[in-house]
Amino acid sequence: MFRSVRDKDVIVRLGYPKVTPLISSGDFENGNLMAATWHTHLSGIPPLYGVSIAPDRYTYKLIKETGEFGVNFLPFRLYELVWKCGLVSGANVDKFEKFKIRKMRGKVIKAPLVEESIVILECKVTKDVKVGDHVFFVGEIVHAWVRDNLLLSKGILDITGDKHVYYLGRGNFCTIDKNTVKSLKN
């Protein structure tokens, strides 16, 4: 049995939980972080990644100015940090300083990266597309980082250690339980 859903606030969250990274923007000295749930891989060749950001966000302004952004996937133990970075605007506060976040310099982009991350993608914007009340930034992944101990030989993340932060909506978070992972062999 199904029930109809008409509440737009509920409809946009029916595809959750979603991995929620921090999007970094700006430059190393004046960087910003924003929690983003609407993001995805787009292409393998070239490696493209997209993030959807509302034009009234400070992150939008910085990405438009610099043409680049970082995607910082934090471990689940830092879910409160992800939440806090989504509550305040970087136009008014230095989130790195306020929340005592350790910065890391990128290999290619100037935006600061989050040292505590599990995985980091450095992206250069190739295009932006207006989609409703957001703009979807398409970025080419120009460099990627992963913690040494988290990449298995098959090129997949080892989730017995640090796990990604997943956002359920309305201030609720979860992560993957290794007991729910199923492997299908050919």
What pLDDT is recorded for position 149? 86
What pLDDT is recorded for position 52? 98
Is the predicted pLDDT of residue 186 greater than 70, yes or no?
no
Is the predicted pLDDT of residue 15 greater than 80, yes or no?
yes
Q: Residue 174 forms beta bridges with which residues?
A: 166
The mean predicted confidence, pLDDT, of the chain is 95
The rounded percent of the chain whose pLDDT value lies above 90 is 84
Q: Looking at residues 94-118, what average pLDDT do you find? A: 98
Summarize pLDDT for 140-149 with one digit per residue, the tens: 999 999 998 8
CA distances for 171 relative to 53, 103, 110, 166, angstroms: 19, 25, 31, 11
Domain boundaries, the chain: 19-179
With residue 62 as reference, give the H or E element that holds it.
Answer: helix 58-66
CATH of domain 19-179: 2.30.110.10
Q: Are 23 and 51 in contact (CB under 8 A)?
A: yes
Question: Looking at 18-27, 101-110, 119-128, 176-185, which range is the least confident one?
Answer: 176-185
Q: What distance in Å separates the CA atoms of residue 161 and residue 150, rounded to the nearest whole number?
A: 7
Helix (H, G, I), strand (E, B) or coil at 159: coil
Band of pLDDT at residue 152, cut at 50, 70 and 90: confident
Q: Where do we find the tokens 């250690």?
A: 161
150: how many CB neighbours lie within 10 A of its CB?
17
Summarize pLDDT for 30-76 with one digit per residue, the tens: 999 999 999 999 999 999 999 999 999 999 999 999 999 999 999 99
